[in-house]
Structure 1
Amino acid sequence: MLNDYERKVLRILYNYKGVRRRFPTIHELTIKTGREKVDIMEALEGLIKENYITWADKSDTSNIVILEGWEREGQQSKPTATQKPSRSGDIKYWTDY
């Protein structure tokens, strides 16, 4: 199961590649995520470990291959007791974020 940050990096990689036809650089990932290079490298290693991406030549992000662009079915995190499950059509999402 991916943590929130790994999921975020996976979505950025997938969407960036779809729109710009290339993967973002590590620097671009630091800008998009607001995290340091060390955090990004840990997230990428987690994605490799969970078989969402492969990255044989780690000299450049252009060598990344996405194996799965979405989190696997049944592995998505479930709301905890303190979190409310989201409702479709919930206006709070649009007004609070």
Structure 2
Amino acid sequence: MLSDTARKLLMIMTHSANHHAHMPSLPEMERLSGRMPVPIKAAMQELVQENYIEWNPNMPPETAIIIEGWERSDSRFKRHHSTPQDIQWGVDGSNIEYWTKY
């Protein structure tokens, strides 16, 4: 599970790469994320360790390559998929719960 800063930077980098066709620079990341350079570099290192991006810490952030643009789902949190119940409207007005219960 990613930290908030790493998640935000991944979102910013993915958006910039897909919509603006470039990777953001460090000043752009500061402006867009509201974070300082040290936490940004730590978050980028976290993204490298978690295998979301490829990046050399000695290079500028614009040289990063996105491997996976969205955070992976956490297996600890299971989503329950409920199936919607089919509402059968009777011609004779047999299903009037909507009108009587609200």
State the TM-score, normalizing by the size of structure 2.
0.68
Aligned length: 78
1:59 alignment counterpart? 59
Q: Give the Cα separation in 2 of the matches to 1:27 and 1:77.
A: 35
Residue 6 of structure 2 aligns to a residue whose secondary structure is helix
Q: Give the Cα separation in 2 of the matches to 1:77 and 1:35.
A: 28
Q: Give the Cα separation in 2 of the matches to 1:32 and 1:21.
A: 16
Larger Rg: 2
Q: Deviations over 1:44-75 (max 9, x none)?
A: 00000100000137422232111100011235
- Indicate how the Cα distance of structure 1 residues 39 and 75 shifts in structure 2: closer, same or farther if over 3 A, else same: farther
Unaligned stretches of 5+ in structure 2?
Answer: 79-102
1:38 aligns with 2:12: no
2:19 alignment counterpart? 19
Q: Mean Cα displacement is larger for which, 69-78 or 42-51?
A: 69-78
* Equivalent pair of 2:54/2:65 in contact (CA under 8 Å): yes
* Equivalent pair of 1:57/1:63 in contact (CA under 8 Å): no
Residue 35 of structure 2 aligns to a residue whose secondary structure is coil
Q: Give the Cα separation in 1 of the matches to 2:13 and 2:74.
A: 22
Unaligned stretches of 5+ in structure 1?
Answer: 79-97
